Structure 1
Amino acid sequence: MKIADLITWFEAWANPAWCESWDNCGWQIEPGVLQEKARVLVCLTPTLAVMQEAIALHANLIFAHHPLIFNPLKSLRTGEAIAEMLRLSFSHNIGIYTAHTNFDQVQDGTADVLAQILELKEVTPIVPTQGGLGYGRVGLLEPFLTLQELLAAIQTRLAPPNLIFSPSADLQQTISRVAVLGGSGASYISSVAKTGAQAYLTSDCKFHQFQESRDCNLILIDAGHYATERPACDRLAQKFHSLNLDWVQLSQKDEDFRQFFA
C-alpha cells in the first residue's frame, strides 16, 4: 500500500477536520513520500530519538499521536529540535503525520482502548461529538471491583511508573462505573461527574484538580500521560498490520519524559 492510500484510509476513519481549533492534525512534514510503499513507524511523540530509529529501520513514515509542530513557528535554527527533525526528514525522505484530537474521539482511539483495557461494558463517550464518537469513555465494570482491585488492575495493565489517586477512607468500597480519558483529561472532571462515574482514570492532574474531583464525589486516578496513551499507539500499529503494509512497527524509542526517584 502506498503512503497516500494509507493516509486516505486513515482519514476516512479519523477525519483530521474533527480536530480542535487549537490542535494541529495531519501532515507535519511531507518530503515527497506519498507514492512510496508505506514503511511506517508508529509512535506517541515524534522526537529525535524516534527519527533516528526510523532512519535505522529504513522507515519512510513516522505516524505519531502528538503533533511535532504545535505552536506557530517563528524561526528555524541549527541546533533546535524541530529544525533538526525537518532536516533529517528531508535528507532521509521520512514523512511525519499526526493524528491527535481526531484520534482521541474514534472507536479504537485513545479513550476507547483504555475502556477496552479495563473491560468496561455499555460504554459511551463522556462528551459526545458526532456519530456516536466523542472524548473519553464511561462504562460499567463487570464484575464490580473494589477501589483497591481497580487500582491494582490499572497498575498491572498500564504499568505506570507512578499512580496517583484521590485520598479515600475506604479502599474496599465497590466501584461499578468508571470513566477514562487518555492524556490530559482534568478539564473534563465536571463532565465526568455528570455521568455518574465513581472513578476517573486520566493524567496530568494538578493539586486543585484533585480537590475539584473530591468535591464532585469523584475518585481521580492519574496514571500519567504516556501510560494512558501509549496503548492506543500499539492498537494503531496492529490496525496497520492488518492492511498488509510493506512494513510497520511500534516505536521502541518513545519516551515518557519523566522519571521518579524511589
Structure 2
Amino acid sequence: MTIADLIDWFEGWAAPSWQESWDNCGWQVQPGVLEQPPQVLVCLTPTLAVVQEALALRQQGTPVNLIFAHHPLIFSPLKVVDRGNPVGEMVRLALLHGIGIYSAHTNFDQVADGTADVLAQLLHLQDPEPVVPTDAGIGYGRVGNLPQPQPLKSLLLTIRQVLSPPDVLFSPQADLSQPVQRLAVLGGSGASFLKAVAQTGAQAYLTSDCKFHQFQEGRDRNLVLIDAGHYATERPACARLVDHFQRQGVAWAGLSQQDEDFRQFLTPL
C-alpha cells in the first residue's frame, strides 16, 4: 500500500466533496510522498509540537511521512512562509523533511465512525441517526436513546469517565436528578445546531465551545446543554482512525502524544 492508496481509500469513505464551502479538507502539504508506504501520525490539530513529534519518531527509527489531522493546517490563504509564522514554519518543515500533511474535517464529521458517530458509540446510543442529514446515512451529529433512562448526574459522570475532559459545563437550571433517555451528540463546536437538536426530541445535547447565550438558548429550547470541550469530544475519533489505518495494512500508524487541549482549569486550592 502507498500513501496514494490510503488517501484513495479514505476519500471513498469520507469524500472531500462533502466538506463545507468554508472548509479546507484534503492535502495541506504534499511534498512528493504519494508513492511511499504510509507511516502515519494521526492528530486532532496539526501544530509545531506534532510536527516535532513526527521528526522525533524518525530519529527513533519510525520514518513518519504523513501527518493525518482532523483540523486543517491552512484555513486562510498564506501570504508568507517563514520561521516567524507557526503555519509557515510547519509548511517549511514538512517540505524540508518530506512529511505530508492531510486534513479530514467536516467531511469526516458526517460519516459512520466519524467524530459524532464515535461519540454515539462510546455513550451506547441505540439506533443513532444524524441530527442534520446531508446524504443517505450520513450527516452532522447523532441522536438516539440511551439503553435506559438515567439521572442527569449519572450521565455527566459517564461523560467524564468516557471522555476524560478537564471540565464539564452544563445548563445551570438543570435538575441533576432528572431522567435523560434521548441524547444528541456532536463533537467539536456544535451549538449552532441547537434548533435542529431540539426538533429531534433530545433531552440533552453533548457538544463543545458553547457560549453564554447558547446556554440560554438551550434552556429556552428545554435542552440540557453539555459542553465537554472540543478536544475531548473529537479526540476519540482520531484514535478510531488509527484503528482503521491499521486494518488497511499501513506500515505504521499511531496516535499523536503531543496533541493538545490548549486549555487548563484551576482546581480548587
Pick closer, same or farther for the CA change 1:169–1:85 going to 2, 3 Å: closer
Instruction: Give the alignment partner of residue 105 of structure 2, picking from 91, 100, 105.
Output: 100
Distance 1:249 1:142 in 2: 32
| Residue 144 of structure 1: how far off its partner (Å) | 1.4
Paired residue type of 1:96: I
Runs of 4+ in 1 over 6 A off after TM superposition: none
Q: Tell me what 2:5 maps to.
A: 5
Identity over the aligned pairs, expressed in percent? 66
| Alpha-carbon distance between aligned partners in 2 of 1:221 and 1:108, rounded to the nearest angstrom | 22
1:44-59 maps to which residues of 2 (within 5 A)? 44-57=44-57, 58-59=63-64
Cα 1:150–1:90 shift into 2, 3 Å: same
- d(CA) in 1 for partners of 2:170, 2:228: 9
Partners of 1:175 and 1:78 in 2: CA distance: 51
Shift of residue 75, structure 1, vs aligned partner: 2.4
**Equivalent of 2:165 in 160, 168, 171:** 160
What does residue 192 of structure 1 align with?
197
Q: Which residue of 2 aligns with 1:20?
A: 20
1:207 aligns with 2:173: no
Q: Deviation digits for residues 209-248 of structure 1, max 9, x if unmatched?
A: 0000000000000000000000000001111111111111
Amino acid at match of 1:41: L
Give TM-score, length-normalised by structure 2: 0.96
**Alignment pair present for 1:120 and 2:161:** no
Q: Within 5 A, what are the aligned runs for 1:30-179?
A: 30-57=30-57, 58-179=63-184
Equivalent pairs counted in the alignment come to 262
Question: 1-side partners of 2:174 and 2:266: how far apart?
Answer: 27
Could you tell me which runs of 5 or more consecutive residues in structure 2 were left unpaired when the two chains were aligned: 58-62
Q: Residue 81 of structure 2 contacts residue 91 of structure 2 at CA under 8 Å; is this kept in 1?
A: no
SS at match of 1:134: strand
CA deviations over 1:122-150 (Å, ceiling 9, x no partner): 11100000011000000000121110110
Q: Report the alpha carbon displacement of residue 168 of structure 1 after superposing the two structures with TM.
A: 3.3
> CA, structure 1 residues 95+158, in 2 after alignment: closer, same or farther (shift >3 Å)?
same
**What letter corresponds to residue 12 of structure 1 in structure 2?**
G
Q: How many angstroms apart in 1 are the aligned matches of 2:249 and 2:81?
A: 37
RMSD: 0.8
AA in 2 matched with 1:164: L
User: For 2:179 and 2:213, how far apart are their aligned partners in 1?
Assistant: 25
Q: Deviations over 1:172-222 (max 9, x none)?
A: 111000000000001000110000000000000000000000000000000
Secondary structure at the residue paired with 1:129? strand
1: CA distance, partners of 2:179 / 2:74 = 43
* 1:169 Cα deviation from its structure 2 partner: 4.9
Taking a change above 3 Å as real, the CA distance of residues 78 and 123 of structure 1, as seen in their structure-2 partners, is same
Q: Tell me, what secondary structure is at the counterpart of 2:197?
A: helix
Cα deviations by residue, 1:82-103 (Å, 9 ceiling, x for unpaired): 1111111111100000000000
Aligned to 2:255: 250
TM-score, L = length of structure 1? 0.99
Task: Point out the more displaced range, 64-73 or 168-177.
Answer: 168-177
For structure 1, the residue ranges without an aligned partner over 5 or more in a row are none
Match for 2:66: what amino acid? Answer: L
Counterpart of 2:24, as a letter, is: N
